[in-house]
Structure 1
Amino acid sequence: MVSREEMSTSFGRHAARYESGRPDYPAEAVAWLLEPLAAAGSRRLRTVDVGAGTGKLTRVLRELEADVVAIDPDPDMLAELRRRVPGTPTFIGTAERMVLPDASVDAVLSGQAWHWVDPVLGAAEAGRVLRAGGVLGLVWNVRDDGVAWVRRLTEIMHGSVAEQLIADGGPPPHPPFDSFQTRVWEWGRPLGREEFLDMVASRSYVITADDVARRRILDEVGTLFDERAERGVVTLPYRTEAYRAVARR
């Protein structure tokens, strides 16, 4: 039986496939996470992307002209991030233990990662590093299983810890955060066959499966792609689920 810890630290083995297969975050969703900080005016926001992976969220924050520090426990993922988002400061660390001073950032953000975090310890650590009025912003891209063929895809490759968290109502707040505001964006991502397979192959369940199970999953997913593709492309429907909270003082 593969442990939760082993699954949570498996992604670096396939960092390039993760970068290829996983979707980016809609800029409007990330801007919404930062919206409570509008009073900062022209000052550049100082943010930390914790569980930064290959830099999917880091890139959007940079495009929104925020200063970003990227933190992840996996050096291979951070190496890929440095290739993709050069010039970004990176540190080995976790949401429960960030290598940052007290009250040093405006926002702590986490994309596709908070479900691996101890939420009580993670919230307390976010509260420690945030300035007064700082924001904890959490975001996930989840496939829209309301579509029949997407449900079939999930059945083949199995659901994830993140998808279960969202299905159960999302992340619960813990001190110093009282509640989360939430918003959802619906959109579609066009994928070629290689990207579609990379999306599946970069999931922790598939990475940690034995060779026979992994091959079976990828073969079945490839067959599904071939059935659905038009001119070599499948558009995969996504829901971006965003949560934000302001630290109380």
Structure 2
Amino acid sequence: MDRYERLLHASSFGAAASAYAEHRPDYAQAAVHWALEPAPGPRVLDLGAGTGKLTATLVALGAEVIAVEPDPAMLAELRRSLPGVRALSGSAEAIPLPDASVDAVLAGNAMHWFDMSVAGPEIARVLAPSGVLAGLWNVMDDDVEWVAGLARVGGSAAVGPRDTPASWRAETADAHLPKTGAAARFGSPEQAEFPHGQRRTADSLVATLATRAGMLVMADQEQEAALDRIRAFLASRPETARGEFTLPMLTGVLRVRRL
């Protein structure tokens, strides 16, 4: 994806902020625990916080959270749902916090949008010594047969390059860590995966997939055709045709410590 495409996809979520807040999943608590395990203290920055999916999990775990989000519509949803959280307008490339002011920087389904040539030094700046940088991604468990079928039917717009375990491992092995001079400020990366799931109906799963960036940037007719294919597939499967079901997922974590 070139720079223009990346910016187009990254800026697409604001138009669907309320749907994103309603339908996107939270993160496995065990994954968030592991992400924070080496952090020297409780102060956590949720960077690229969106509507607060990860922020809410951090609050539930007792962290002292600051949320930073560049999109005004996404930030408004976060402030509405989590009024007690300090939520600031800003980006990974321009973090509105003082030096060494947080013990961990976490990003939920967001780190792949960062320009790490700029964001890397900024993240290193706001992290306290021995602080932790971690990206978390929810991925669909395509070891489950019907989920693999859904990934094939949905195509890359609905199930992108980080949305299944194998592709997530490959895409995040080193691609989204700080680059150039900032790399010297971080240790070796670690990956881990944690079981997760989301209760869905066929309609709400379609609504969830409709909030993916690849879907949001489609022309209306193309998007509706893709969603119709997904609806037809879900209606054809005994696991998903009637009532609620659990979408099998994993929360993958990429973690690195500031030196």
Task: Give TM-score scaled by structure 1 length.
Answer: 0.90
Q: 3-state DSSP class of the match of 1:29?
A: helix
Deviations 1:120-140 (Å, cap 9, x if unpaired)?
332221110011111111110
Q: What amino acid sits opposite 2:38 in the alignment? A: P
1:143 equivalent among 140, 143, 162? 140
Task: Determine whether 1:87 maps to 2:81.
Answer: no
Q: Kindly indicate whether the alpha-carbon contact (under 8 Å) linking 1:143 and 1:236 is maintained by their aligned counterparts in 2.
A: yes
Question: Matches of residues 1-249 of structure 1 in structure 2 within 5 Å?
Answer: 3-37=5-39, 40=41, 45-155=42-152, 156-158=154-156, 159-163=159-163, 166-172=168-174, 173-174=177-178, 175=183, 176-228=185-237, 229=240, 231-248=242-259
- Distance in 1 separating the partners of 2:220 and 2:171: 34
- Distance in 2 separating the partners of 1:10 and 1:105: 29
Q: Kindly indicate whether the alpha-carbon contact (under 8 Å) linking 2:188 and 2:256 is maintained by their aligned counterparts in 1.
A: yes
Which 10-residue stretch deviates more, 118-127 or 91-100?
A: 118-127
In the superposition, relative to structure 1, how do residues 231 and 163 fare at CA in structure 2: closer, same or farther (>3 Å)?
closer
Q: What amino acid sits opposite 2:5 in the alignment? A: S
Task: Give TM-score scaled by structure 2 length.
Answer: 0.87
In the superposition, relative to structure 1, how do residues 150 and 86 fare at CA in structure 2: closer, same or farther (>3 Å)?
same
- Distance in 2 separating the partners of 1:160 and 1:122: 23
Q: Kindly indicate whether the alpha-carbon contact (under 8 Å) linking 2:198 and 2:248 is maintained by their aligned counterparts in 1.
A: yes
The CA deviation at 1:200 is 1.0
Which 10-residue stretch deviates more, 56-65 or 112-121?
A: 112-121
Counting matched residue pairs gives 243
Q: Kindly indicate whether the alpha-carbon contact (under 8 Å) linking 1:115 and 1:162 is maintained by their aligned counterparts in 2.
A: no
Q: Kindly indicate whether the alpha-carbon contact (under 8 Å) linking 1:140 and 1:241 is maintained by their aligned counterparts in 2.
A: yes
- Distance in 1 separating the partners of 2:244 and 2:173: 33
The CA deviation at 1:245 is 1.4
Q: What amino acid sits opposite 2:112 in the alignment? A: H
- For structure 1, list consecutive stretches of 5 or more residues without a partner in the other structure: none
Deviations 1:178-204 (Å, cap 9, x if unpaired)?
211221112332202332112111011
Q: 3-state DSSP class of the match of 2:74?
A: helix
- Distance in 2 separating the partners of 1:213 and 1:153: 18
The CA deviation at 1:147 is 2.8
Q: Kindly indicate whether the alpha-carbon contact (under 8 Å) linking 2:138 and 2:163 is maintained by their aligned counterparts in 1.
A: no
Q: Kindly indicate whether the alpha-carbon contact (under 8 Å) linking 2:49 and 2:108 is maintained by their aligned counterparts in 1.
A: yes
The CA deviation at 1:152 is 2.7
Which 10-residue stretch deviates more, 10-19 or 145-154?
A: 145-154
Deviations 1:34-92 (Å, cap 9, x if unpaired)?
1113x54xxxx111101100100000111111111111110100111112111211222
